[in-house]
Each structure stands twice: as structure tokens, then as C-alpha cells.
């Protein structure tokens, strides 16, 4: 496990306003020298969750949970300590020292995340090129505004068997990585691979840290057919977090409306890809939200 010096952790704490950060998740109100609100970690009607900006800590007098900004993010997004440090370091603009003790498995996992992020960029850019004209027409027929499509990272997989493979070669990503990520399929009886998605409108599926972990594909033919990366989630619960769209405007409440770009008729939810299984979708009880059907 990666370790960080006390000086680095102090710099991150100093660079993150704990009231502003927790305020992205909890409706906080001034209460003397502190701020208070409803605890996000247990159900309550009377606010007992307190944030002390001077000490940089939070504490709930209802369930007893408390800690600093690292502890809050670990509980809120179900992260390990190193993952919380890396996420908050980006928020604070603090450069972390190289993790010399990183495990080999972690580097392989990061390479898969990199491949998924590059694929998301490739598909999103292709949607707005001439090759994506038919997909854009399909979105227009369904009443999807272009700004909404861009905001949620919708993309298009062009026709052809190796368009993504060619793009990934230029980015120095190997076929083995693409096959492991579910973006390519290994050919039978001979070497090589081919693109999993071809001529499909794609919906990006993200984990709690807004990292791309899977794609859902929908053809523009009639009737439309769906395809997703192996073991991708097919839960009807939206997997985009409010961080993606602005947490302040999409807090967990009965009035919040989530726009789910990918809904499936599959009865049993599939699993996250094994390499991305640390981060899971939020529980249905944590957010009383409704998904807007397309």
C-alpha cells in the first residue's frame, strides 16, 4: 500500500476547504462556529452532523462517525486511503511523489483504466465527426440535445473491424489490454483481435470516481439492439455521480431527477468488470432518485 508523508497530507488538507467539500454532498447550515446538516451515513430527521472548519474535522453525534476530509471521502465514495489521497490531491492541486512501492497489479489496473478513458475520448470525438452523422440523427429523433449528449459523454463506434484498434496503436495500447478491458474480441483460430463495438451509439458507464469502467452500445437500426462490455453493470440505477454534473444541483433528495442514458431490459444485474470492482454503484437507499426513461 502506498504511504504518504505527514507534510504531503497536511498540504492536501490545507488545500481543501472541508466545509465546501462536504457541502457538495450534504446541505450544511451555519451553526455558531460550526456547520451542521443531516448525516449522509445514516438516516435521520434532526441534523446531528457537524463540520468544524477550524479543526478541519466532521462528527456525527447520531452514529458516532467522524474524521477529517480523507475519512469523509473514504466513507462517502467507498475508497481506500490511497485512493482518497489521490482524489483530494487533484482537488487541492498538490503533486504527489511517485509511488515507488506500487504493486505490479495496480499498474496493470491503471493501464486498463487508461484504455477505457482513451476509448471514451475516441468514441465521443467520433460522434461529432462525419462518420457519426447517422447516430446524431438518431439522437435528434429521440429529442436529445447535443449539449446533453456531450455532457454525458455519449459516443459512436464507427463501422469497421479495427477503427479503435488503429487509434489505440497510435496511443501505444496493446491488443492484450483492449481484450482484457472488453473493448476488443480475440479472433478464433488465428491471431489478432477486432473491435467489440461497430456502428453503435455508445453510453459511457463510470464508477464513483468518474472513471470510465464500461460502455453500453445501442444500434440505430430498427428494432435497436444493445451490447455492452463484458460484465458491465446493467442495473437500472444511474451510475453517473453528481460530481459529473454538479453535486449541488443533483443532491440526493426525493426531488432529484437523474438522467440515465443507459437502461436495460435485462432482469438480473450484471457485475462490474473484475478490474474495476472496487468501486460500486451507490445503494438505492442512499439516493431517492428517479431515472428518466428515454
Same-domain check for residues 206 and 121: yes
Give the CATH number, domain containing residue 52: 3.90.580.10
Element (H, E) at 259: strand 257-259
Of 92, 118, 136, the domain-final residue: 92
For residues 68 and 13, membership in a common domain is answered with: yes
- Residue 201 near residue 183, CB atoms below 8 Å: no
Domain that residue 34 falls in: 6-92
Examine the domain organization and report whether 57 and 109 are in the same domain. no
User: Grid coordinates 459516443 are at which residue?
Assistant: 155
Q: Does residue 87 sit in the same domain as residue 194? A: no
- Residue 50's region, left for phi above 0, alpha for psi from -120 to 50, else beta, is beta
Residue that terminates a domain, selected from 92, 117, 135: 92
Per-residue pLDDT of the chain (294 residues; tens, 9 = 90+): 567 889 999 999 999 999 999 999 999 999 999 999 999 999 999 999 999 999 999 999 999 999 999 999 999 988 889 889 988 998 899 988 865 445 545 567 788 989 999 999 999 999 999 999 999 999 999 899 999 999 988 999 999 899 999 999 999 999 999 999 999 999 988 888 999 999 999 999 887 677 898 998 888 766 556 666 665 433 333 344 434 444 443 333 333 333 333 433 322 334 445 555 554 444 333 332 323 222
Q: Are residues 138 and 35 in the same domain?
A: no
3-state DSSP assignment of residue 229: coil
Angle between helices 6-15 and 69-77 (to 10 degrees): 80
Same domain, 78 and 175: no
In a domain, 97, yes or no: no
Residues 18 and 149 in one domain: no
Same domain flag for 124 and 249: yes
Indicate whether 99 belongs to any domain: no
> Number of folded domains in the chain?
2
d(CA 273, CA 36): 38
What CATH number corresponds to the domain at position 205?
A: 3.90.980.10
Same domain? 145 vs 266: yes
Amino acid at each position: 500500500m502506498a504511504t504518504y508523508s505527514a507534510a504531503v497530507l497536511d498540504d492536501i488538507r490545507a488545500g481543501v476547504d472541508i466545509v465546501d467539500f462536504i457541502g457538495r454532498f450534504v446541505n450544511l447550515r451555519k451553526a455558531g462556529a460550526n456547520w451542521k446538516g443531516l448525516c449522509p451515513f445514516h438516516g435521520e430527521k434532526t441534523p446531528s452532523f457537524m463540520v468544524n472548519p477550524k479543526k478541519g474535522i466532521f462528527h456525527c453525534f447520531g452514529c458516532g462517525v467522524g474524521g477529517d476530509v480523507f475519512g469523509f471521502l473514504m466513507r462517502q465514495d467507498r475508497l481506500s486511503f490511497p485512493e482518497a489521497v489521490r482524489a483530494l490531491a487533484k482537488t487541492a492541486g498538490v503533486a504527489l511523489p511517485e509511488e515507488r512501492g506500487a504493486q505490479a497489479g495496480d499498474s496493470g489496473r491503471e493501464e486498463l483504466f487508461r484504455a477505457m478513458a482513451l476509448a471514451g475520448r475516441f468514441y465521443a470525438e467520433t460522434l461529432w465527426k462525419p462518420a457519426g452523422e447517422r447516430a446524431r440523427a438518431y439522437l435528434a429523433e429521440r429529442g436529445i440535445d447535443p449539449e446533453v449528449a456531450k455532457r454525458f459523454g455519449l459516443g459512436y463506434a464507427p463501422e469497421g473491424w479495427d477503427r479503435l484498434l488503429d487509434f489505440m496503436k497510435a496511443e501505444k495500447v496493446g491488443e492484450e489490454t483492449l481484450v482484457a478491458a472488453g473493448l476488443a474480441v480475440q479472433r478464433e483460430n488465428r491471431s489478432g483481435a477486432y473491435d467489440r463495438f461497430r456502428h453503435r451509439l455508445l453510453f459511457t458507464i463510470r464508477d464513483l470516481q468518474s472513471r470510465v469502467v464500461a460502455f453500453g452500445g445501442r444500434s440505430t437500426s430498427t428494432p435497436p439492439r444493445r451490447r455492452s462490455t463484458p460484465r458491465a453493470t446493467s442495473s437500472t440505477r444511474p451510475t453517473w455521480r453528481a460530481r459529473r454534473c454538479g453535486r449541488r444541483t443533483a443532491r440526493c433528495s426525493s426531488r432529484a431527477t437523474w438522467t440515465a442514458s443507459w437502461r436495460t431490459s435485462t432482469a438480473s444485474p450484471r457485475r462490474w468488470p473484475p478490474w474495476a470492482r472496487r468501486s460500486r454503484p451507490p445503494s438505492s437507499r442512499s439516493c431517492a432518485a428517479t431515472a428518466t426513461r428515454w
